[in-house]
Amino acid sequence: LVSGAGSFTVIPAGAGRTELQWRETLVFPAWMGGPLRDAVGSRVLELVWRRNLRRFRTACETGTARSAAMSSGSANPSASEAL
């Protein structure tokens, strides 16, 4: 329904810390309001992504992301360690 492009960039932030940047451009179809809806829809999705990224950060910092991935049995251990 909504198209666009996005990227995540990981940047060293010193002393064992990493900054994760997210950038996204969305395009809404005309039947959804097209350009008029872009600003509203983008803002809603920004709020959703911010919440998701805060949860991801907490999971990474507390180690629960790795624990959950490892206990599911479906994760690649080397990928989990990257968290």
pLDDT digits (tens, 9 = 90+) for 26-58: 777 777 777 767 677 778 878 888 898 888 888
Residue 5: pLDDT over 80: yes
Q: Which amino acid makes up residue 19?
A: E
User: 31-68 b/e with 16+ CB inside 10 Å = b?
Assistant: eeeeeebbeebbeeeeeeeeeeeeeeeebeeeeebbee
pLDDT mean over 66-77: 53
- Eight-state DSSP code of residue 30: G
The pLDDT, as a whole number, for residue 56 is: 84
Which residue, 8, 1, 3, 4, is CA-closest to 49?
8
